[in-house]
Amino acid sequence: MKAGIVGSEIVDSNEIEVGDDLSVNIVLDESGQVVGAVADELIVATGPNGSIVDEIIDVLDADGDLVMEDEIITVYDADGNAIARDEEIRIPLEG
């Protein structure tokens, strides 16, 4: 059994479930040429006290270079109510 301390409570790692889902959509222009892609990754960790959802959306150009990344982390209590949310949008500097 692996256990960790969250706040002042001991949490058994066997009580936490983690799931991950990734979808990638290719963006085409009107002539069918690839102009980019959008990757959406969703990571969910759920335990007896609630859940944490981390969604990362990457926008890529036709060469596969990152154009923009949007990450949203939401924390839910055991009743499914959102109790905290943080969003960060990153745009890489050219260089």
pLDDT given at position 12: 64
Got the DSSP string for the chain?
--EEEETTEEEEGGG-EEEEEEEEEEEE-TTS-EEEEEEEEEEEEEETTEEEEEEEEEEEETTS-EEEEEEEEEEEETTS-EEEEEEEEE-PPP-
The pLDDT score that the predictor gives to residue 3 is 47
Q: Going residue by residue through the chain (95 aa), what tens digit of pLDDT does each one get? A: 454 545 555 556 678 889 999 999 999 999 999 999 999 999 999 998 899 999 999 999 999 999 999 999 999 999 999 999 999 999 998 75
The reported pLDDT for the residue numbered 9 is: 55
